[in-house]
C-alpha cells in the first residue's frame, strides 16, 4: 500500500499547490508518527527527513545505520545516509529543490497529522536558521487528511474484511453468552475467537475488547471488570480487529432477560430503537458535501427528541489504518473538537456511526456501524444490528 499512497500524495500536493511534503522524525519506535505507517514503512533511529515533492521525487535523509532497512523497502529511491549529522545533506537537498512551500508533519486539529514533536520542531527551526526555508513551513494536515480519507480499493477491501470478521465474532459470541458471566469472562471469549481467526486487536489491549454491563458500568473507554451480567442488564461490547494493517471498530448491544421475561421492558426497547433509528437517519443523511456537525445533529436531535440525554462524544470518526483515523469527524461544535465539526464529507471516506443512550436502571444501549461514503450517499461495510440480542440464564 505504501508505494501507491505515496503516488496518491504526489497528486494531493499538486491539488493543494504545495511543492514539498516533509515528514521529519527520529526514534520513531519511541514516539511514533502515524505517517510512518502511511508513507514510510519502517522506523528510524536518528533525525530523518522523508521528502515527497510535487514533481514526484522521493528522498530519504537518515542515519547511516538505518539505510539498509529503508533501501530494502524501496519506497524512497534516493537515500542520503549521514554519519555525523543531518544538517549538511538536508540543507543541500533543500537548496537543490528550492521549494516555495514545505508542508511539515504537525497539526493543531488533527492528531494523526501531528507526529512532529515540539523538540523536533525546534531542531528544524535551528537547521533552517539563516535560510529562506524557515518561513516557508506550513502544516501538512491537509495532505495527511486527504491521504488517510480517500481510501483506495485495496484499503477498502481490508476494512471491509475487518468488519465482516468482527460481525462474525459477535455472532459466535452471542451463542456463548449466559447470565452470570463477568465482563472479563465475556472479553476472554472474544479474545479466544479473535485468536482463532489469527487476527489482532485494533487498539490497546486494556480496552479492546471493552465490555460494559448494567447501570453501574463505566460505559466507554475502560477495560472489562469483574462486574457480573445480571438479568435486567443492558450489556454492550466495543471491539475492533486489524486485517493487514486496517481496522474495524464496532459495538453491539444485548439485553439479559429476567426470569419470566420473554422480551426486554418497554424503556429498554425505546432506548435500543432510539439508537437503531439514529444510526439509520444519520446514514440516510450522510453524503458528500455535508458537514460533520450536520450529520452529528441528525442523530443527536433524534435521541434528545425522545427524551434521552445526549451522548457525551462525537457521533463518529474516520477509520482506516487506525481506529481513530484522524481529520474529519461527525461531531458537535464543542471546544475539544477544534475545527473538526466543519469538515466536509467526501466520497471514499469511511466513518463509524456510534450514538449511545443511557437507559436508567438497565445500562447503556449503543451500536457502532461503519460506512463508506459513496457518490451520493453511503454504504454499510458492517451489517447493522437491527434487533436487540437477548441473553438468557
Judged by CB under 8 A, does residue 78 bind a copy of itself? Answer: no
CB of 299 to a copy of itself, least distance (A): 17
> Candidates 162-170, 180-188, 265-273, 329-337 — which segment interacts with a copy of itself by CB under 8 A?
329-337
Taking the chain, what is the end-to-end CA distance rounded to the nearest angstrom? 47
Helices (H), 152-240: 153-174, 183-197
> Candidates 104-112, 187-195, 239-247, 259-267 — which segment interacts with a copy of itself by CB under 8 A?
104-112
> Candidates 83-91, 148-156, 177-185, 297-305 — which segment interacts with a copy of itself by CB under 8 A?
83-91
Angle between helices 141-149 and 2-16 (to 10 degrees): 130
> Candidates 6-14, 81-89, 192-200, 367-375 — which segment interacts with a copy of itself by CB under 8 A?
81-89
Q: Which DSSP symbol is given to 347?
A: T
Grid look-up 482463532 returns 196
**HEC letters along 32-43:** CCCHHHHHCCCC
Strand order in the sheet with 241-243: 200-201, 241-243, 246-247
Strands 58-63 and 137-139: unpaired
| One of 17, 226, 266, 335 touching a copy of itself (CB under 8 A) | 335
| One of 14, 55, 77, 122 touching a copy of itself (CB under 8 A) | 122
Of 209 and 264, CB closest to a copy of itself? 209
Judged by CB under 8 A, does residue 344 bind a copy of itself? Answer: no
| One of 8, 46, 228, 273 touching a copy of itself (CB under 8 A) | 46
Of 83 and 129, CB closest to a copy of itself? 83
Judged by CB under 8 A, does residue 353 bind a copy of itself? Answer: no
CB of 340 to a copy of itself, least distance (A): 12
Of 264 and 326, CB closest to a copy of itself? 326
Of 86 and 167, CB closest to a copy of itself? 86
* Chain centroid offset of residue 118 CA: 23
| One of 87, 100, 174, 196 touching a copy of itself (CB under 8 A) | 87
20-39 binders of a copy of itself (CB under 8 A) = 26-27, 29-34
Residue 234 contacts residue 268 (beta carbons within 8 Å): yes
124-153 burial: b if 16+ Cβ within 10 Å, else e: beebbeeeebeebbebbbbbbbbbbbbbee
User: CA-CA distance, 101 to 275, in Å (whole number)?
Assistant: 46
Angle between helices 183-197 and 153-174 (to 10 degrees): 130
Contacts of residues 55-64 at CB distance under 8 Å and 24 or more positions apart, as own/partner, are 56/10, 57/97, 58/6, 59/93, 61/86, 61/89, 61/90, 61/93
> Candidates 14-22, 247-255, 320-328, 370-378 — which segment interacts with a copy of itself by CB under 8 A?
320-328
Judged by CB under 8 A, does residue 72 bind a copy of itself? Answer: yes
Q: Which helix (H) or strand (E) holds 238?
A: strand 234-239
Q: Could you tell me the three cell numbers for 235?
A: 450489556
Judged by CB under 8 A, does residue 138 bind a copy of itself? Answer: no
CB of 220 to a copy of itself, least distance (A): 4
Which residues are at the interface with a copy of itself (CB under 8 A)? 26-27, 29-34, 42-43, 45-47, 63-69, 72, 82-87, 106-123, 126, 139, 203-204, 206-207, 218-223, 225, 312-313, 322, 324, 326, 334-336
Amino acid at each position: 500500500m505504501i508505494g501507491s499512497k505515496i503516488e496518491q500524495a504526489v497528486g494531493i500536493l499538486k491539488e493543494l499547490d504545495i511543492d514539498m511534503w516533509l515528514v521529519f522524525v527520529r526514534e520513531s519506535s519511541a514516539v511514533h508518527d502515524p505517517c510512518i505507517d502511511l508513507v514510510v514503512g519502517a522506523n528510524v533511529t536518528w533525525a530523518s527527513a522523508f521528502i515527497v515533492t510535487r514533481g514526484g521525487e522521493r528522498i530519504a535523509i537518515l542515519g547511516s545505520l538505518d539505510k539498509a532497512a529503508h533501501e530494502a523497502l524501496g519506497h524512497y529511491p534516493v537515500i542520503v545516509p549521514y554519519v555525523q549529522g543531518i544538517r549538511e545533506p538536508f540543507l543541500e537537498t533543500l537548496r537543490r529543490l528550492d521549494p516555495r512551500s514545505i508542508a511539515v508533519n504537525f497539526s493543531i486539529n488533527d492528531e494523526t497529522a501531528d507526529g512532529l514533536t515540539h523538540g523536533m520542531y525546534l531542531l528544524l527551526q535551528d537547521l533552517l536558521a539563516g535560510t529562506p526555508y524557515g518561513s516557508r513551513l506550513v502544516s501538512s494536515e491537509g495532505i495527511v487528511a486527504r491521504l488517510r480519507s480517500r481510501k483506495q480499493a485495496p484499503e477498502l477491501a481490508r476494512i471491509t474484511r475487518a468488519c465482516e470478521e468482527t460481525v462474525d465474532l459477535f455472532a459466535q459470541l452471542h451463542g456463548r453468552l449466559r447470565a452470570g458471566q463477568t465482563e472479563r469472562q465475556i472479553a476472554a471469549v472474544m479474545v479466544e475467537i479473535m485468536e482463532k481467526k489469527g487476527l489482532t486487536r485494533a487498539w490497546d489491549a486494556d480496552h479492546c475488547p471493552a465490555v460494559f454491563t448494567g447501570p453501574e458500568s463505566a460505559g466507554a473507554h475502560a477495560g472489562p471488570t469483574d462486574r457480573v451480567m445480571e438479568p435486567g442488564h443492558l450489556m454492550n461490547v466495543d471491539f475492533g480487529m486489524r486485517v493487514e494493517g486496517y481496522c474495524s471498530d464496532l459495538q453491539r448491544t444485548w439485553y439479559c432477560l429476567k426470569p419470566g421475561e420473554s422480551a426486554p421492558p418497554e424503556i429498554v426497547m425505546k432506548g435500543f430503537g432510539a439508537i437503531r433509528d439514529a444510526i439509520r437517519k444519520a446514514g440516510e443523511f450522510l453524503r458528500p458535501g455535508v458537514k460533520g456537525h450536520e450529520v452529528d445533529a441528525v442523530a443527536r436531535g433524534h435521541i434528545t427528541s425522545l427524551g434521552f440525554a445526549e451522548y457525551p462524544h462525537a457521533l463518529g470518526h474516520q477509520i482506516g489504518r487506525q481506529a481513530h483515523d484522524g481529520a474529519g469527524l461527525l461531531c458537535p461544535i464543542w471546544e475539544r473538537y477544534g475545527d473538526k465539526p466543519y469538515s466536509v464529507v467526501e466520497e471514499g471516506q469511511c466513518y463509524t456511526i456510534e450514538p449511545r443512550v443511557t437507559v436508567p436502571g438497565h445500562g447503556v444501549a449503543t451500536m457502532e456501524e461503519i460506512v463508506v461514503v459513496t457518490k451520493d450517499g453511503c454504504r454499510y461495510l458492517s451489517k447493522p444490528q437491527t434487533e436487540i440480542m437477548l441473553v438468557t440464564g
